[in-house]
Amino acid sequence: MNSNVTLKDFMTPVWGLIVLGLIIGGGVGLYEMFGSHILATTQVVVFTTPLVVYIWLALASTGISLLLAYGLLAGNGLIQRYTRYLLVLDIAVLLGGFAALATELGSLLNMIYILLSPNPLSPIWWMGTFYSIKLTLLFVKLALDLMGKHGPLDRPLAWATMVVAAGAAMTIGAVFGTMIARPDYQGAFASILLVTLAPASGVALIVLLRRSAELADWLIPVARQLAGLIAVMLLLQWIYEARATTVGLIGWVNPLMLVLFAAAALAGGIASRISAALVMIGSFWVLYGFIITGQLVVQGPMQGWYGAVTSFAPNLAEIAILVLGVSVAAAVYHLGRLFLLEGEGATPSHG
């Protein structure tokens, strides 16, 4: 641990942006919790941008967890060397997602209540439970790493993290695969897509930050392959939507999503950070389309509602929650970098 942190370490442009984001996003979040409702939810549109932000960050966290678990189980020396860095980044991104989720649910108490009110028949309960368990496992692993304790617990923790992380990603498809006004079930395909999207966004975030050049360079081919695979999966879904005869089907795949991921796959070798940014943007767009689209056709008893198509766009408050989630993740990551990552990566974590 680094005990030489001073106030000067916080007097940087990056910390200035983080603080500004926390003030703007945090102010909106607190007003939503304790003031009045300002998010763009309606009787029809229940799921909105803050929920997408949570899932976007949670999936990136899932991808980092899967990479870390694979490295520890396979004995990959490079991943072992950067275990603490990956743990800090993983925790930071997931906490940023939980910050966005708290605003979506209205308060932290609602989030805790849902977690402590077991309902095994509810995919939403499983989603929150999986990610809460994953966060706990990450903190346990980080604590052991800080104490220098490695050995018998490493493999069970890695297996548990991998299973829980994959389960969390698959459950998201079940949660949002069926919605009011969506005429067919898309959870099966979505679960497969999200399990692929998780490592793609997690790896892309590591490449984008590029704290370790050797780790980023090793992951660039992986990121390109995953981006190409997602482009193919989106193409198949787009073909299905174009040829489907289901009455009332509204497709959520935009052809530009395919272009974005294809460009990321092709450009990864010459502009890795741009490619990684395209994957992160594309991941958010895919999640936004999949989660929001099913709510667009209004089906209600009131005259003028039945069969009408509404439009949805995030308001400024929801954009502020996106800023909040990213700012919380950035703040936790940079705090961890300052206090916990001094010299990390110089020697393998498992000596």
Q: Which residues contact 172 (CB under 8 A, 6 or more apart)?
A: 55, 59, 127, 190, 191, 194
Does any domain span residue 349?
no
Task: Report which of residues 260 and 172 the model is more confident about.
Answer: 260
Please give the single-letter amino acid code of residue 78: L
Which DSSP state fits 309?
Answer: B
In a domain, 206, yes or no: yes
Model's pTM, two decimal places?
A: 0.89
pLDDT in tens, 273-325: 999 999 999 999 999 988 888 776 555 554 444 445 556 678 898 999 999 99
User: Per the domain annotation, does 1 fall within a domain?
Assistant: no
Q: How high is the pLDDT of residue 59?
A: 95
- Per-residue pLDDT, averaged over 61-66, amounts to 96
**Domain range for residue 20?**
7-340
Q: How far apart are CA 275 and CA 334, in angstroms?
A: 23
CATH number at residue 167: 1.20.1630.10
For residue 135, pLDDT over 90 is answered with yes
d(CA 79, CA 17): 30
Within a domain: 347: no
- pLDDT for 349 beyond 60: no
Q: How many domains does the chain have?
A: 1
**345 falls within a domain:** no
Mean pLDDT of 251-262: 93
